[in-house]
Structure 1
Amino acid sequence: MALHLLASEPDARVLLLCGDAQVGGDQVEPVIADRLQPGARDLADMCCVRSWEGYYIARDNAIERFDEPVWLLDPVQVWLELAQLSDRCTAIAGCDQPAVSGERLTWAGGTALADRYVDLSALTTARAECEILGIDAVRQLSLPILADYDTAAPGWEANQLLPLGDERVLVRKLPLRAGLVAANSTFESLLNALVAD
C-alpha cells in the first residue's frame, strides 16, 4: 500500500507503522501472477525473487496440477524499494496499534500529524510457521504445492511447500482461515483491493 501511494501520488509523504519486527515482515509469499490486476502485478513484479510455471493443490488424497505462473514475493524487496524512497516514506517497525485522535497519530515512541490514516491491521492474519528442509522426500519438487490439506496438523489450514532451487524446500504451516476476511480472501485479492482506484 505504501509503495502504491508513493507511486500514484508524487507529492505524498507516507508514515508506515509496522507491527512486524522488520519493515515488510519476514515471510515470503507466493502469488498466482495471472490473478493480479495490472497495478498489483506491477508492485508484485518488483518484489518477485523466484517464479514457477505452475503449482499443485493436494486435497482428499489427490494432487491436481494447475498451469498458472506463481511468483514468490520477498519482503526484503519491499524494504529495499521503500528505502530508495526514504525522503518521502518513514517506515518504523515493531509498532503497536497507534492511537488516533483527529489528525494526530500516537504510538509507542512517536507522534505525527496525518491527513489520512489507513489501518490495514484487519487484513493481517496469524503468522505461518516456516522451516527449510533438505530431505529426500521433497528435494526433487520442481513446482510449489500451494496447499496440501491432507498433511496439515490439527489447528492448521494446510501445508505449503515452496522449492528454493537448491535442493531445499521452504515448508509453511498456514493458519486456519477463521473470520470473514480471511475465509474469503487470497493474497492476490488483497493486493488487488489495496491498489484499486
Structure 2
Amino acid sequence: MRKKRQDFHFTGENNMIRRLVATLREYIPSNRGYPLSVDDGFDETALCARLEERARKGEEASRMVRLREEKRLGELFEPESIVKHNLLKMVCIDEGCMPPYIVQSESMGGNAGTWGSFPCVGANFIYDRMGGKIEHFGNIQYAPRHLINGKFAEGTFKLACKIDFHSIPPSTQYRVVKTPSFTPATDIARQALEETVEQYNKIYGINLLR
C-alpha cells in the first residue's frame, strides 16, 4: 500500500525552506523515474526540521556575533558613530553585511587578483554619499529598492585574505588594501569611509608582513 504523503509545517515565514523542499521534490528523480516521495525515504518532515534548526542556529550565531562586536566597538566609539555602524556592517554576519556577501558571491583570487602572496576578494557596497554610512554589502542589482536612488553611491573594497585551515570550520581574516576614490561623496562621507577602513585594519585586519 502506498504511504500517504506526510504533512509538515513551517515555523514562521521561512520561504527559503519551502522553496528548497519544493525544488528537491520536483527536480531530484527517484529510482522509479519520477519525483521523490515518502516511498523513496524522502522524509519532508525531517528535512524541514533540520533546515529550520539550521536557520535557528544561524540566527542565534548572528545575534551573538552582533552582541560581541557591539560591545567591543561600543568601548571605542560613540553610540551614533557612523564609523561604528560601518564596522559592524563589515564584521557581522547578518544579511546585507560583508562576510556573508563575500562567502556567497566572491571567489578568492578571481577578478580581484592578489596582494603579494595573499589572494584578494572584492566587496561591493552601497553607501550614503552625504554622510558615508554603509547601508548594504552586495551588488547594486540585488540591493533593496529604497537604496537605488541618487542619495546613494556604490563602492568596492579590495581585501587581502588569510585563511586559517587549522580552525574548524576554516576561518578567514581580511585587510582592506584598496579603496575606491569615493568621488560622488561629500568630504564628510569620504572622511567617514576612510576612517572606517583605517579602524577596520587596526582592529580586525591581518598583518600582511607575516
User: Scaled by the length of structure 1, what TM-score is found?
Assistant: 0.23
- Tell me which structure has the larger Cα radius of gyration: 2
Q: Which has the higher contact order (CA 8 A, sep 6+)?
A: 1
User: Scaled by the length of structure 2, what TM-score is found?
Assistant: 0.22
* More strand by percentage: 1
* More helix by percentage: 2
